[in-house]
């Protein structure tokens, strides 16, 4: 959820630039729902538990290990750990054992530079014979990683050697974010959409696929658009989406609904394969502490990214989202992040939609503000608003070591 909010507010900053002035008096709509009573932390029940094996990041010392504001993490095809630092406008690469390797990107508007890399990054799967528009891509032009520069209005590509490759521009109001690199150098991402006409202002999001070098999507999997009231940003909550994708381009989508647990699986071409629902899902109220923390975090984030204080008026939904993330590991297991537990927990499915097991992160109450990604044979976690200093936490996934031993 936190990564999605970063993308959403980057888009909202650009919306303000379109000239719409928010109202000064802000009042909340809807029913007044009381928050849940605060409870002592309890580790979520699960079949298996994820534990930490390592971390990267220090408070003081070697500057290669000191981070400003982490907004994205990923695992490279070599098994290295990549960390996107919004404040330093760069990607830092570390070996699987946590040793600093190199840094790419920097602050600026030139080639290979980022103005506001809040939209995320993704490394492409290691593949041979990439074909774009019917032509084989030379080895020297194979993409290695792509970064979404929201403020720069572009996607920045680096090749497989992590040298600057190209910018792709022409997105409105901003490029897709929370991107996932898939086959043939394409990406799947969530793009903010904005429309203003005689009927008013409309804003929403779409999940789509973009071929390498293209600014127009080739496939749209899901889209949501609704009237936009700049004096009440909470009106956008129903349009926020979550998604994931396999290296082969199979896509998973879910709305961040507080009323229903449901996600859909799509073929790379946009055919709906199946939808999974949980008829036993029960809504869970946020505590007042959680509401206050989200309000402070989100409004501060908007102000830091240049939004006028009068428009920083986020009011959280009093209920937790049923689903907050969708991931896939190297065994083609779908990891669905549940939004109803205080610390990260998951339902894990096979590619036919059968539930395999449940999992939870066993890292203490401090993990309640962590975002977790699942990729290959590991999980990575980070706190977008750390109490002490930014770190990336690393751990292994269950079952994969045993599968490797049998190869």
> How many whole angstroms separate alpha carbon 125 and alpha carbon 127?
6
Nearest to 178, CA basis, from 256, 238, 77: 256
> Could you give the 3-state DSSP secondary structure of residue 262?
strand
Would you state the pLDDT for residue 21? 42
pTM of the model: 0.87
Residue whose token pair is 């409004």:
299
**Which residues of the chain, if any, have pLDDT below 70?**
1-32, 35-39, 128-129, 131-140, 229-239, 301-308, 310-312, 401-407
DSSP of 82-126 = EEEETTTTEEEEE-TTS-EEEEE-EESSSTTEES---S-EEEPP-
> Beta strand 106-107 with 113-114: parallel, antiparallel or unpaired?
parallel
- Which ranges of 277-359 would DSSP assign to H, the alpha helix? 288-304
Distance CA 329, CA 280 (A): 26
The 3-state DSSP class for residue 151 equals coil
Q: Structural domains in the chain? A: 2-19+44-405 (2.120.10.30)
Q: What pLDDT score was predicted for residue 134?
A: 60
Task: Tell me the C-alpha to C-alpha distance, in Å, between residue 260 and each of 21, 225, 255, 323, 339.
Answer: 34, 19, 9, 9, 11
Predicted confidence at residue 30, as pLDDT, reads 46
Burial 256-278 (b: 16+ CB within 10 A, else e): bbbeebbbbbbebeeeeeeebeb
Residue 346, token pair as written in the block: 């998951």
């Amino acid at each position: 959820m936190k990564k999605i909010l970063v993308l959403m507010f980057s888009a909202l900053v650009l919306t303000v630039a379109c000239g719409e002035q928010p109202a000064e008096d802000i009042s909340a709509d809807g029913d007044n729902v009381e928050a849940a009573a605060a409870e002592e932390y309890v580790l979520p029940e699960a079949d298996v538990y994820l534990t930490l094996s390592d971390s990267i990041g220090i408070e003081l010392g070697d500057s290669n290990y000191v981070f400003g504001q982490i907004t994205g993490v990923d695992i490279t095809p070599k098994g290295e750990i990549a960390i996107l630092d919004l404040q330093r406008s760069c990607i830092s690469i570390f070996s699987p054992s946590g040793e600093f390797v190199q840094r790419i990107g920097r602050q600026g508007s030139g080639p290979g530079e980022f103005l506001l890399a809040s939209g995320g990054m993704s490394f492409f799967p290691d593949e041979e014979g990439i074909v774009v528009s019917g032509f084989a891509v030379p080895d020297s032009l194979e993409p290695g990683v792509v970064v979404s520069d929201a403020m720069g209005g572009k996607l920045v590509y680096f090749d497989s050697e992590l040298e600057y490759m190209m910018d792709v521009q022409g997105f409105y109001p901003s490029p897709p974010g929370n991107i996932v690199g898939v086959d043939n150098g394409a990406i799947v991402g969530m793009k903010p959409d904005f429309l203003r006409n005689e009927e008013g202002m409309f804003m929403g999001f779409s999940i789509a696929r973009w071929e390498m070098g293209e600014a127009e999507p080739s496939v749209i999997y899901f889209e949501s658009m609704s009237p936009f009231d700049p004096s009440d940003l909470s009106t956008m909550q129903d349009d926020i989406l979550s998604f994931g994708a396999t290296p082969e381009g199979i896509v998973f989508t879910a709305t961040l609904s507080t009323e229903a647990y449901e996600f859909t699986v799509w073929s790379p071409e946009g055919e709906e394969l199946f939808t999974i629902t949980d008829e036993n899902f029960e809504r869970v109220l946020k505590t007042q502490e959680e509401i206050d923390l989200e309000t402070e975090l989100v409004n501060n984030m908007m102000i830091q990214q240049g939004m006028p204080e009068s428009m920083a008026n986020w009011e959280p939904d009093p209920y937790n989202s049923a689903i907050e993330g969708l991931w896939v590991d190297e065994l083609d297991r779908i990891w669905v992040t549940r939004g109803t537990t205080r610390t990260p927990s998951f339902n894990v499915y096979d590619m036919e939609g059968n539930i395999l097991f449940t999992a939870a992160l066993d890292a203490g109450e401090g993990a309640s503000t962590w975002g977790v990604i699942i990729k290959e044979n590991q999980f990575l976690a980070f706190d977008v608003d750390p109490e002490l200093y930014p770190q990336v936490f690393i751990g292994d996934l269950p079952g994969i070591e045993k599968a490797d031993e049998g190869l």
